Amino acid sequence: MNYKIFSLIIGFSIWLLATIAFRIAGQYFFLTDNSLVLTGLYLAIIPFLGFVANWVFNRYKLSQLQAVQSATIMVLPGMIFDTFCIEFFAWVFPNLPETDGATFGSWLMWAYATVLVFGLIKKDNK
Protein backbone atom coordinates (compact mmCIF):
# COMPACT_ATOMS: atom_id res chain seq x y z
CA MET A 1 0.00 0.00 0.00
CA ASN A 2 1.41 3.41 -0.88
CA TYR A 3 1.81 6.20 1.65
CA LYS A 4 -1.07 8.28 0.28
CA ILE A 5 -3.66 5.54 0.76
CA PHE A 6 -2.18 4.67 4.16
CA SER A 7 -2.28 8.34 5.21
CA LEU A 8 -5.93 8.54 4.19
CA ILE A 9 -6.78 5.39 6.17
CA ILE A 10 -4.91 6.65 9.25
CA GLY A 11 -6.59 10.06 9.04
CA PHE A 12 -10.06 8.58 8.63
CA SER A 13 -9.48 6.05 11.41
CA ILE A 14 -8.34 8.71 13.89
CA TRP A 15 -11.30 10.90 12.95
CA LEU A 16 -13.75 8.01 13.40
CA LEU A 17 -12.33 6.84 16.72
CA ALA A 18 -12.16 10.38 18.11
CA THR A 19 -15.72 11.12 16.99
CA ILE A 20 -16.98 7.93 18.64
CA ALA A 21 -15.07 8.77 21.84
CA PHE A 22 -16.57 12.27 21.98
CA ARG A 23 -20.04 10.92 21.21
CA ILE A 24 -19.90 8.26 23.91
CA ALA A 25 -17.81 9.88 26.66
CA GLY A 26 -17.03 13.47 25.71
CA GLN A 27 -18.92 14.81 28.70
CA TYR A 28 -16.35 13.16 30.99
CA PHE A 29 -13.17 14.61 29.44
CA PHE A 30 -14.10 17.61 27.26
CA LEU A 31 -14.62 19.95 30.18
CA THR A 32 -14.73 23.43 28.70
CA ASP A 33 -15.41 25.08 32.05
CA ASN A 34 -12.17 23.70 33.51
CA SER A 35 -9.19 25.68 32.14
CA LEU A 36 -6.64 23.16 33.38
CA VAL A 37 -8.34 20.20 31.68
CA LEU A 38 -8.94 22.17 28.49
CA THR A 39 -5.30 23.31 28.36
CA GLY A 40 -4.27 19.71 28.94
CA LEU A 41 -6.38 18.58 25.98
CA TYR A 42 -4.77 21.18 23.72
CA LEU A 43 -1.28 20.16 24.87
CA ALA A 44 -1.87 16.38 24.88
CA ILE A 45 -2.80 16.32 21.22
CA ILE A 46 0.67 17.56 20.17
CA PRO A 47 2.75 14.51 21.15
CA PHE A 48 -0.02 12.08 20.20
CA LEU A 49 -0.52 13.41 16.68
CA GLY A 50 3.21 14.08 16.32
CA PHE A 51 3.91 10.44 17.09
CA VAL A 52 1.29 9.21 14.61
CA ALA A 53 2.42 11.56 11.85
CA ASN A 54 6.10 10.78 12.30
CA TRP A 55 5.34 7.07 12.45
CA VAL A 56 3.69 7.31 9.01
CA PHE A 57 6.51 9.49 7.63
CA ASN A 58 9.20 7.12 8.91
CA ARG A 59 7.37 3.94 7.93
CA TYR A 60 7.44 5.06 4.30
CA LYS A 61 10.75 6.95 4.52
CA LEU A 62 9.09 10.06 3.16
CA SER A 63 10.93 13.11 1.90
CA GLN A 64 9.94 16.49 3.31
CA LEU A 65 7.61 17.17 0.36
CA GLN A 66 6.03 13.73 0.68
CA ALA A 67 5.57 14.32 4.44
CA VAL A 68 3.64 17.52 3.66
CA GLN A 69 1.49 15.57 1.21
CA SER A 70 0.96 12.79 3.74
CA ALA A 71 0.01 15.24 6.51
CA THR A 72 -2.44 17.00 4.20
CA ILE A 73 -4.05 13.71 3.24
CA MET A 74 -4.23 12.65 6.90
CA VAL A 75 -6.20 15.73 7.94
CA LEU A 76 -8.57 15.86 4.95
CA PRO A 77 -11.09 13.22 6.07
CA GLY A 78 -11.48 14.82 9.48
CA MET A 79 -11.71 18.32 8.09
CA ILE A 80 -14.42 17.27 5.66
CA PHE A 81 -16.48 15.21 8.11
CA ASP A 82 -15.97 17.58 11.06
CA THR A 83 -17.52 20.36 9.00
CA PHE A 84 -20.79 18.48 9.42
CA CYS A 85 -20.07 17.45 13.01
CA ILE A 86 -19.68 21.09 13.99
CA GLU A 87 -22.68 22.26 11.96
CA PHE A 88 -24.87 19.58 13.53
CA PHE A 89 -23.06 19.57 16.87
CA ALA A 90 -26.14 19.08 19.06
CA TRP A 91 -27.26 16.07 17.02
CA VAL A 92 -23.83 14.43 16.64
CA PHE A 93 -22.79 15.04 20.25
CA PRO A 94 -26.00 15.08 22.31
CA ASN A 95 -23.96 14.38 25.47
CA LEU A 96 -22.15 17.74 25.20
CA PRO A 97 -23.69 21.18 25.75
CA GLU A 98 -24.32 22.96 22.47
CA THR A 99 -22.25 25.87 23.81
CA ASP A 100 -19.16 23.60 23.60
CA GLY A 101 -19.37 23.62 19.80
CA ALA A 102 -17.10 26.63 19.30
CA THR A 103 -14.44 25.29 21.66
CA PHE A 104 -14.68 21.88 20.00
CA GLY A 105 -14.16 23.49 16.58
CA SER A 106 -11.16 25.41 17.92
CA TRP A 107 -9.64 22.23 19.34
CA LEU A 108 -10.15 20.46 16.00
CA MET A 109 -8.40 23.26 14.10
CA TRP A 110 -5.51 23.00 16.57
CA ALA A 111 -5.30 19.23 15.99
CA TYR A 112 -5.31 19.58 12.19
CA ALA A 113 -2.73 22.37 12.32
CA THR A 114 -0.54 20.18 14.54
CA VAL A 115 -0.41 17.39 11.94
CA LEU A 116 0.33 19.88 9.17
CA VAL A 117 3.16 21.46 11.16
CA PHE A 118 4.76 18.05 11.73
CA GLY A 119 4.65 17.52 7.96
CA LEU A 120 6.26 20.90 7.36
CA ILE A 121 9.07 20.44 9.87
CA LYS A 122 9.97 16.91 8.76
CA LYS A 123 13.63 16.73 7.81
CA ASP A 124 14.69 14.83 4.69
CA ASN A 125 16.24 11.43 5.34
CA LYS A 126 19.92 11.35 4.45
pLDDT per residue as tens digits for the range 27-60: 999 999 999 999 999 999 999 999 999 999 999 9
The pLDDT tens digits for 10-28 are: 999 999 999 999 999 999 9
Task: Report whether 15 contacts 85 (CB < 8 A).
Answer: no
Q: Read off φ and ψ for residue 124, nearest 5 degrees.
A: -65, 140
Of the candidates 23, 59, 46, which has an alpha carbon nearest to the alpha carbon of residue 121?
Answer: 46
Task: Report whether 108 contacts 82 (CB < 8 A).
Answer: yes
Given 3-state DSSP classes, what are the helix, strand and coil percentages for the chain, each rounded to the nearest 5? Answer: 85, 0, 15
Query: Could you state, in order of their start, the residue ranges of all structural domains in the chain?
Result: 3-121
* Mean pLDDT taken over the chain: 96
The pTM of this model reads 0.94
